[in-house]
Amino acid sequence: MGAPGAEAAERTEPEGDGFVGRSLKRKEDPRLIMGRATFTDDLVLPGMLYAAIVRSPEAHARITSIDTSAAREHPGVEAVFTGEDVDVAAPCPMVWVPPGVEMRVPEHWPLARDKVGYVGQAVAVVVGRDKYGVVDAAAQVVVDYDPLPVVTDPEKALEDGAPIIHEEFGTNKVFEWSLPGGDVEAAFRDSDVVVEKRVVNHRTAGAAIEPRSVLAEWREGKLTLWSATQIPHICRVILSIQLGLSEDKIRVVAPEVGGGFGSKLQVYGEEVLACWLARKLGKPVKWTASRSEEMSTTHHGRDQIDYIRIGAKQDGTVTGIHAKIIQDCGSYHLIEGPVIPTFSACVMGGVYDFPAIQTDIVGVFTNKFTTDAIRGAGRPEATHMIELTMDELAAKLEMDPLELRRKNFITEFPSPRPHGFTYDSGDYHRTLDRCVEMLDLDAFRREQAELRERGVYRGVGFSTYVEICGLGPSRALGPDGWGMQGGYFESAQVRVHPTGSVTAYTGTSPHGQGHETGFAQIVADRLGVTPDVVEVIHGDTNTGPFGKNTYGSRSLAVGGEAIARAAEKVQDKAKRIVAHKLEAAPEDIEVSDGSFQVRGSPDKAMTLADVAGEAYIPADLPEGMEAGLDELCFYDPSNFVWPFGAHACVTEVDAETGRVDVVRYIAVDDCGPAINPLLIDGQIHGGIVHAVGQVLYEQVAYDEDGQLMTSTFVDYALPSAADVPSFETDRTETPSPTNTLGVKGVGEAATIACSPAVVASVIDALRPLGVTEIDMPLTPIRVWQAIQEGGAS
């Protein structure tokens, strides 16, 4: 049943002298565990000022006056500015410009001008010498608002007569976009069964534990911004546009960054504002978000209403899938929010061989904050609606839901899909089989039946998923393709120093993933050294080449491949030097046992240090060879990569209270060959809990007046250690043909997989009580209500 080349991952350490594939502990950790790491808010500069921001308590209002006089008089305050003062060159650019699509982009400035569209919108900034004092002074800024009608429900916002948020457009519709593939309507006509479903995928927060923080300095005509960002290089480009300052005058540094999950894949108004203030005042300016600012003005994710239809023949063969997605965009865009639901379209159809696939998307303005990329970014929404609908289809056909899945799995790879993508490699049966085996489904069903006799409701839910990552081929994503105004290559530079240690620069910008370790393993194997002498540098636009940073599970599949290729360029040059010195042919030189050896003559060898000595004292290099041992690579992939897997969740539901507990969770994922299994498992664990949080606890909730009801961690409930179990994980390794490492991505995989498994497990638990569907979040009250309604029906 297995596809060629699909071997189950060895759980033991690999053989040989390579470092790739080993669970090395992280190079990053010593500074972090000792409290010696430097996060942005840890930085202090001479003469540094603090900024505090005055924010709108209104969701939709005209600003009629702002009185800053009392704040200006506050001790220690150096300046107060409002929207009109902040004369930046351009509003926030929105970088998705899909060809042939009318896209509505309201001007979004660092401080509001004339009106506000969401609670928390910045309207004024106070700058002063004392961290507490600027907050006191900000409270003394008096803003008069003339409230306007508010709309927070995206479906109501599309109705005739709804309050219009941006008068200049005359509509709350942001855009309409479609991705057709085959004739879905014909497919439904030819189906024996069509299941239709409305799925609400509610708004969530990235909720990195480190709040956003920025420190800007203007010195000698140059700007430096330290920012808790995932995207320092992209940030520099956008700062250049917004500030009207050339890139050579701007340095952006992402120091230690305390988690991102997409929420720091952004260029926020505060980043632009801090830079403008530092230049205006000639002094460094720092701003760090409070948690309430973080919850109200760090972009949210999800917030789709999905109408999905799946058609099938009586034997279970699927015929077509159609999704209409209503995406709540909030009232303004940041850099790319509207594109996020299109990533749902990329994986519409999931792991199943649908002959026809279509996704239609409508983006909508509401009086809420911006939605944009949060871990998974469109793909969790797709998996969620597909998997729950497949379960309903199975119920309607009276088929086992796993049999339905197996019947429809794609088995031939590469697999061109009707909507234009080509899945690179996969073995969906293998991951599901392993998942079912680890669960011991038969034993679970016996246990479930016994527990039901005693009034204990346990259920199991499955999710089989594929995701798109490794962003990505610039030709596909760029201006003439998907419409992104940027390239999605990644850069790397591998520099061997004169005595043989190595510095590798990556254009990616990690914030917890472990690139310093994983990338060092890749370089070490190619140069015959150990990872401890390979330093990986990232997150600073003044070091290394321009890069495209970290998001969309791209760092390894694009950035790691760039690192490997740059290291191989170094290796090629080193081989030529070794061949020249040892009087052998370059093709006979191999890297083995920590040196460059003549094949078959291990006594004839040079270490990397020996080679570096020759390269930097270039008295005897091959004819025409330049000095130095330092190589650059810009790698732009030919395709995306498509990780996949199967997850199973067992929950127990207290039918009296509606409380749901996750009892077991099994994840079998395939992200290609492992570079460092320890890091993969860590990403899977975190990804599961991120999604469990959405399913059971977390919701960014606004009331009908647009007031944010979840502005702290007291109201926005992240899962704690006490809320989740330990996890059972395994991997298969199906190499991707897209890159030489064969790797895919893993940062988002578990979040993309998890949510339908949890929801399905609750439905499975409560089926005896008549519950057949339930929307997230599965809070006790909602589950209890579903039980009452199920019992009544």
Partner 1 sequence: MSTTVHVQATVNGQPREGDVEARTLLVHWLRDHLGLTGTHVGCDTSTCGACTVHLNGDAVKSCTVLAAQVDGAEVTTIEGIGQEGALHPLQQSFWEEHGLQCGYCTPGMIMAAAELLDRNPEPSEHDIREALAGNLCRCTGYHNIVKAVQAAAQASPTKEEVTV
HSE on the CB side for 83, CA within 13 Å? 22
d(CA 683, CA 754): 13
Contact between 193 and partner 1 by CB under 8 A: the answer reads: no
CA nearest 509: which of 754, 239, 255, 777?
Answer: 255
Contact between 649 and partner 1 by CB under 8 A: the answer reads: no
**How remote is the C-alpha of 509 from its chain's centroid?**
13
d(CA 289, CA 297): 9
Positions 50 through 79 that interact with partner 1 (CB under 8 A): 75
Provide, for the chain, the percentages of residues in helix, strand and coil under a 3-state DSSP scheme, each rounded to the nearest 5.
30, 25, 45
Stretch that binds partner 1, among 38-46, 388-396, 464-472, 649-657 (CB under 8 A): 38-46
Contact between 443 and partner 1 by CB under 8 A: the answer reads: no
Contact between 249 and partner 1 by CB under 8 A: the answer reads: no
For partner 1, which is the closer residue by CB, 409 or 727? 727
Contact between 688 and partner 1 by CB under 8 A: the answer reads: yes
Q: Where are the alpha helices (DSSP H) in 739-793?
A: 749-766, 780-792
For partner 1, which is the closer residue by CB, 223 or 750? 750
Contact between 47 and partner 1 by CB under 8 A: the answer reads: no
- Please report, for residues 150, 171, 276, 682, 706, the alpha-carbon distance to residue 166 in angstroms, rounded to integers and kept in the order given: 12, 7, 26, 43, 16
Stretch that binds partner 1, among 441-449, 485-493, 500-508, 686-694 (CB under 8 A): 686-694
For partner 1, which is the closer residue by CB, 427 or 516? 516
HSE on the CB side for 576, CA within 13 Å? 16
Q: What is the largest CA-CA distance in the chain?
A: 89
Contacts (Cβ under 8 Å, ≥6 apart) of 724: 662, 665, 688, 689, 692
Positions 445 through 504 that interact with partner 1 (CB under 8 A): none
Contact between 722 and partner 1 by CB under 8 A: the answer reads: yes
Contact between 726 and partner 1 by CB under 8 A: the answer reads: yes
Positions 131 through 170 that interact with partner 1 (CB under 8 A): 131-132
d(CA 76, CA 134): 8
d(CA 192, CA 318): 10
Contact between 697 and partner 1 by CB under 8 A: the answer reads: no
Contact between 46 and partner 1 by CB under 8 A: the answer reads: no
Contact between 713 and partner 1 by CB under 8 A: the answer reads: yes
Positions 661 through 680 that interact with partner 1 (CB under 8 A): 678-679
Least distance from partner 1 to the Cβ atom of residue 689, Å:
4
Contact between 11 and partner 1 by CB under 8 A: the answer reads: no
Q: What amino acid is encoded at 346 in this protein? A: C
For partner 1, which is the closer residue by CB, 115 or 647? 647
Least distance from partner 1 to the Cβ atom of residue 497, Å:
23
Positions 79 through 108 that interact with partner 1 (CB under 8 A): none
Least distance from partner 1 to the Cβ atom of residue 43, Å:
9
Stretch that binds partner 1, among 266-274, 421-429, 721-729, 732-740 (CB under 8 A): 721-729
Contacts (Cβ under 8 Å, ≥6 apart) of 721: none
d(CA 400, CA 702): 39
Stretch that binds partner 1, among 159-167, 258-266, 357-365, 733-741 (CB under 8 A): 258-266
CA nearest 206: which of 555, 552, 698, 681?
Answer: 698
Contacts (Cβ under 8 Å, ≥6 apart) of 216: 223, 224, 225, 226, 274, 275, 277, 278, 279, 284, 285, 286
Contact between 648 and partner 1 by CB under 8 A: the answer reads: no
Contact between 659 and partner 1 by CB under 8 A: the answer reads: no
Strand-pair category, 142-147 with 115-116: unpaired
Contact between 709 and partner 1 by CB under 8 A: the answer reads: no
By rule CB under 8 A, what count of residues binds partner 1? 59
- Residues 382, 358: contact at Cβ < 8 Å? no
d(CA 543, CA 705): 47
Least distance from partner 1 to the Cβ atom of residue 58, Å:
23
Q: What amino acid is encoded at 550 in this protein? A: T
**Binder to partner 1 among 258, 401, 426, 518 (CB under 8 A)?**
258
Contact between 284 and partner 1 by CB under 8 A: the answer reads: no
d(CA 145, CA 58): 8
d(CA 55, CA 123): 6
Peptide bond preceding 777: is omega within 30 degrees of 0, i.e. cis? Answer: yes
- Binding mask 201-240 toward partner 1 (x if CB under 8 A, else -) reads -----xxxxxx-----------------------------
Q: What angle do CA 369, 372, 375 make, to 5 degrees?
A: 125
Radius of gyration of the chain (CA): 27
Stretch that binds partner 1, among 114-122, 251-259, 538-546, 782-790 (CB under 8 A): 251-259
For partner 1, which is the closer residue by CB, 725 or 791? 725
Stretch that binds partner 1, among 100-108, 149-157, 322-330, 713-721 (CB under 8 A): 713-721
For partner 1, which is the closer residue by CB, 424 or 681? 681
Least distance from partner 1 to the Cβ atom of residue 716, Å:
9
**Binder to partner 1 among 512, 745, 756, 790 (CB under 8 A)?**
512
**Binder to partner 1 among 727, 770, 775, 779 (CB under 8 A)?**
727
For partner 1, which is the closer residue by CB, 52 or 237? 52
**Binder to partner 1 among 26, 333, 405, 573 (CB under 8 A)?**
26
Least distance from partner 1 to the Cβ atom of residue 263, Å:
10
**Binder to partner 1 among 687, 742, 756, 777 (CB under 8 A)?**
687
Burial class from Cβ neighbours inside 10 Å (0-12, 13-18, 19+) for residue 497 reads middle
For partner 1, which is the closer residue by CB, 11 or 620? 11
**Binder to partner 1 among 229, 513, 699, 761 (CB under 8 A)?**
513
Stretch that binds partner 1, among 1-9, 239-247, 509-517, 520-528 (CB under 8 A): 509-517
**Binder to partner 1 among 718, 769, 780, 782 (CB under 8 A)?**
718
For partner 1, which is the closer residue by CB, 75 or 244? 75
Contact between 590 and partner 1 by CB under 8 A: the answer reads: no
- Residues 51, 293: contact at Cβ < 8 Å? no
d(CA 716, CA 67): 33
Each residue of 399-427: b (16+ CB within 10 Å) or e?
bebbebbbbbbbeebebebbbebebbbbb
Burial class from Cβ neighbours inside 10 Å (0-12, 13-18, 19+) for residue 603 reads exposed
Element (H, E) at 670: strand 660-670
For partner 1, which is the closer residue by CB, 205 or 574? 205
For partner 1, which is the closer residue by CB, 249 or 291? 291
**Binder to partner 1 among 70, 90, 724, 769 (CB under 8 A)?**
724
CA nearest 244: which of 436, 135, 91, 116?
Answer: 91
CA nearest 376: which of 690, 778, 98, 759?
Answer: 690
For partner 1, which is the closer residue by CB, 207 or 524? 207
Contact between 720 and partner 1 by CB under 8 A: the answer reads: yes
Contact between 712 and partner 1 by CB under 8 A: the answer reads: yes
Contact between 682 and partner 1 by CB under 8 A: the answer reads: yes
d(CA 691, CA 381): 11
Least distance from partner 1 to the Cβ atom of residue 681, Å:
7
Interacting residues with partner 1 (CB under 8 A): 25-26, 28-39, 41-42, 75, 131-132, 206-211, 256-259, 261, 290-292, 511-514, 678-679, 681-682, 684-690, 712-714, 718, 720-724, 726-727
